[in-house]
Structure 1
Amino acid sequence: MNTNNTLQKVLFESKHLALCLLDKSGNVVAVNSTFKNQLCQEEIDTSRPVSIRNLSFWNKDLKALDTAWKEFLVNGAASFNSYLYNREELLFHEVELKQANDEGGVLMEFFKKQEPTKAEKESAKTDGELDNIAAIISHDLRGPVSNIAYLLSIFDGGVADKEELEEFMDALKKSNAKTLDIIDEMGVIINPKLKRRSHSASSLQPLICSILENFEEEISQTQARVVIDIQDHSDWKVPKGAFEMILKQVVSNSLKYRKEDETPKIVITCSRKNGDRIIEVKDNGLGFDVVENEQHLFGLFQTFHNRPDSRGIGLFQVKNRLLSIGGAISLKSQEGIGTTVTLNFKQNELEEAPLYN
């Protein structure tokens, strides 16, 4: 791609900005001396495609770059903040993407900036979370609440017989349960107050089966195979409410992020290790790149699949619940292979463990 004279002048004469010219595929076409001296330590051979993502100054986390690139393709401009290696020193930068010319070129500008204060970070984080919470409430609650309103309007018109009444009540209960689930999720985020509860010794087999009943329709429709492998048959002294919420969310993720062209398989293994109770949930679903998303695995509103019903609350909530009772969570996943979630219920922490209200 040939750049025009004005662009060449800006690119190669600017001594204050690190500039990089890319083609529409994100490959480096040209860089200026400031970019070479401050950011990019390696030699760039522009005679062959070199992706901007593969340069060494990025601080491993490329999610912000990928998001900005998608935004640029839609709007023709984008910006993001990131820590970049500047002469081997990690410094805060603002990065802007602009249209360079009429041939699809992209001009990337790098500005060294003062790192935002803690108050500014918290304010930005709070604003973003409130926006997301508002979107979740308006979007997710609209469906079940509308269903309840619709069912009540039918009821006002009268029901024909007992069988129709039972069907009506069953549908109403399901919509109500969905509404309460969403409210519970939002409650954990907005007001995570704790209180102490007693713990119950529960036999795992019936407890897990009762949790799976929540997914009876989905399991039937997808013909999913769910295997329960209980290797430790002693009673587990676990907080029943927290256990149900945690396992329900993990199983829900396994069913939600399944492959469309493969029968879902979920294996739930219950074992004991060093006195702790371990639940492992393994599926053959979509999976994702754990290394690329390592810093965001259990963050609030972090999603790893492009689905309209992905809210980024599930893993955040599971981790918080486990931490609140002294437990721990780990996750392994491989794109196209599946995901394994390991839940550790540490028995020595459970006697006086606090639970979410």
Structure 2
Amino acid sequence: MTTHGASLIDVARLAGVSTATAGRALGGYGQVSERTRERVLAAAAELGYRPNSLARSMITGSTNTIGVVVTDVANPFFATALRGITDVTSPAGFEVLLANTGGELSSEQRAVTVMSEKRVDGMIVAAARPGEGAHLKHAMDAGVPVVLIDRQVSGVPDADSITVDNDHAAAEAMEHLLELGHRRIAVITEAGGQLARVRSGNRRRGLFPSAVRLRGYVNALDAAGLAVDSALVASARYDRSSAYDAMVRLLDLADPPTAVLCTDNVLASGAYRAAQDLGLRMPAEVSLIGFDDEPWTTLVRPELTIVEQPTYDLGARAGRQLLTRITATGHQRPQHIQLRAKLVARGSTVPR
């Protein structure tokens, strides 16, 4: 018997049941005896039948797909988080649709719209602009659960969020440097232009992780009784060359820093290269701390002291939370889960 292009009618005929019964047996809904279900499944296997996923979704209301939207899929941080997501959602029968926005709000808006139109069962989003959440609220109002990862977003108070406690992470890095005797401590950050803003409050919603880490830097200096020197707050774009230039500017000051904190892994790699190219002896002349335990951080000499984020667990927790939302009935209060990072001291930091 030919199996090419087998239809549900073909399966029903071979199994000796009605088309409706075959559909219920294959779709896992409605009342079907176990004996009949086995007969239908055997017929489907013999014919090589593949169900029409769109038709099934119209019956069950589920496509068994979730959307994941991130700003930079090439960043190992998001790649690791994505593995955590899929390790949780795949065994539950869900496939992942991935969108990379490049940090552009318009790309994120298009991705969210397309995924909603494709009837994904839910979305996990690392927002390109945490201050802009209208498109996410629109998706949630249309019945699509959204879990925010890595950063909270303004305008979507009912969205769950899984983030790292970035205030604590930066404070722990600063406490390490302060305990080593450093007092001229600089920071390289994408949020340098938000220094006044982060000093005026303690909110997280609407802020990038880099801005929250900058606040942790400021609070640690305040707690130590040290003034914040704006000359030591170096702004950089999210790329290595910009961080390289920022490090050069810091080290060219009349009174340069003895230690530098970089608020993410990309900036740390650029700063490290600048110190090398300038011929500085690290850590004798400058100590350096970065974020995330990437492979390169232990291949260089000295090895880089880092703040290790629970990146895989961040993704896994987001996956579990989304599955909870997908299967939940009735209104439930949003969950805001914060995970703790930890300092890993290595050779790039020493007592002053």
What range is the shorter-chain TM-score in?
Answer: under 0.3
Q: Please, what TM-score do these two structures have when normalized by structure 1?
A: 0.25
Higher relative contact order (CA 8 A, sep 6+): 2
